[in-house]
Structures are given as structure tokens and as C-alpha cells.
Amino acid sequence: MLRTLIWFTYFWLYLLLCIPISLYIRHLAKKDGAKADRYVAHFVKNWARRLLKLAGATVRVTGQENLPESGAYMVVANHQGYFDIPIMLTCVGEPRGLVAKQEIDRIPGIRTWMRYLHCLFVDRSSPRAGAQTIVDGAGLLAGGHSLTIFPEGTRSRGGPVREFKAGAFRMASRAGVPVVPVTIDGSFRLMEGNKMRIRPAVVNITIHPAVETAGMGREGLRALPHMVKETIEAKLAY
């Protein structure tokens, strides 16, 4: 329980103390967007790394060489728990924007930094809004901003991987960028597996070879969600 209290205190206190930094980044973005992006990536990565350290997470990563060396790409991962987010921000290349549910955009402090990171917020109750998210996401990818998405749409909490929604793959295909499948194995043990109390755990991350979407036909695109899901599941230790 003490670890959980310390973790949440740090989480919110750090965001509060960094309000002046947030205001500086807003000012900087108007003059030099690229410099502001680098500053945000540095800040977010350090914050997320400390969150993992306080939780007692040991993250083991294999396959870093599979991340594209240049250009934007779409990371597609299974979603076991809340700690998947700081893991994605620190352990799989440089921090990228996330495709997240609309409700998170209503949380003060968090939404500010997510917007700076070029995150997208999905209104899951509106098919029209979902279609617009695909267009917006493709625009970000085409503009050179990589993204991370959890196509299950919710946490599995260590259970079977749920069906992958096709929107993420349409987004990548529309922009002509590669999809990088990532397996997250064990993150639920940090919180969800302990009745929402934070406890140390080992998390294994596998970064699989990228799948090119440029020039992919309809049949290939239709089969892509299932193929990527099978690739990710193959490295899970059920």
C-alpha cells in the first residue's frame, strides 16, 4: 500500500510542479515546433522512467533493432494494463503520441502533455468521430510523427488478447507507414493483478519486425489485424 501511495503522490505532484515548464513549452512551440517536440520527448521519457522505477518494474526488451531507423511508423501493441503507457514511452524507441480514449482528454494536467506529444483522442461512441480520427492519425504519420495504439481498445488485465480493431491499420495504410507489432507480457502484474495495488514485477517486451503497408492491397489490409494479433500472441506466456 505504501508503494501505491508514494507512486500516486509523485504522479500528481510532478505534474503540478511542472506547470511552469508546460507554459514554457507552449510559448516555445509557437517559435520552434521541432525544438518543443524534443523538449517534450525528453521530459515525458524521464517522468515515465521514474514512474516505472517507483513501481519496481523490471522491463526486459528484445528486438530494438526492428524499429525503423528513419521515418514515422505505427506501433501496435496488446494492452494488459495501465503501465503499458509508461513502458511504451520509455522502452520502445523514443516517446510517441498515443491513440487514447476521449475520456483522458478531460483529465487536467495529463491532457496538456498528451497534446504536446501529438496524441489523438478517440470518441468511441461516435462512428463519425472514429473515422475522423483515422484521417487525423494518418495526417500525423504522414507529417513524420510516429504513433502508438492499443487496438484492443481496452485492457485485457492478463487475459486473452481481444480482437484487434481495424482502424489503426487503416491509419497506417493511409499514410503508407510501417506497422511495428509489440508484445507486452506481464505489465498487468504491476497493478491490475494486485487489486489495483502497485507491486514490483518483471515485464517482457518483444518488438517484432515491421510490416510495410505501402502498396498493400485490400486483401492484405483486411488480413493485417489478425496477422499482427497472432504475431503478438505468439510471445505471450499464458
Contact, 213 vs 172, CB < 8 A? yes
Helix axes 33-55, 84-91, angle to 10 degrees: 120
At residue 77, the pLDDT reads: 97
pLDDT bracket for residue 16 (50, 70, 90): confident
Residue 192 has pLDDT above 70, yes or no: yes
Q: How far apart are CA 89 and CA 83, in angstroms?
A: 10
pLDDT band at 4 (very low <50, low <70, confident <90, very high): very high
Tell me if residue 180 falls in helix, strand or coil: strand
Q: Tens of pLDDT along 28-50?
A: 888 888 899 998 998 899 999 99
- For residue 111, the model assigns a pLDDT of 84
- Give mean pLDDT, residues 62-88: 95
User: Is 201 a domain residue?
Assistant: yes
- Whether residue 215 contacts residue 73, with contact meaning beta carbons closer than 8 Å, is answered with no
Among residues 207, 205, 141, the alpha carbon closest in space to that of 169 is found at 141
Domain contains 90: yes
Domain count, the chain: 1
Mean pLDDT value across residues 1-20: 89
Interatomic CA distance for residues 69 and 61, integer angstroms: 17
Which residue carries 517534450 as its cell?
40
pLDDT tens-digit series, residues 136-180: 999 999 999 999 999 998 899 988 999 998 888 999 999 999 999
The better pLDDT of the pair 113, 108 is held by 113
Range of the domain at 130: 2-233
pLDDT averaged over the chain? 90
In a domain, 238, yes or no: no
In a domain, 155, yes or no: yes
Confidence of residue 238 (pLDDT cuts 50, 70, 90): low
Three cell numbers written together for 210: 515491421
200-220 pLDDT, tens per residue? 999 999 999 999 998 888 888
Q: Is 63 exposed, middle or buried (0-12, 13-18, 19+ CB in 10 A)?
A: middle
Its pTM surpasses 0.85: yes
CATH number at residue 155: 3.40.1130
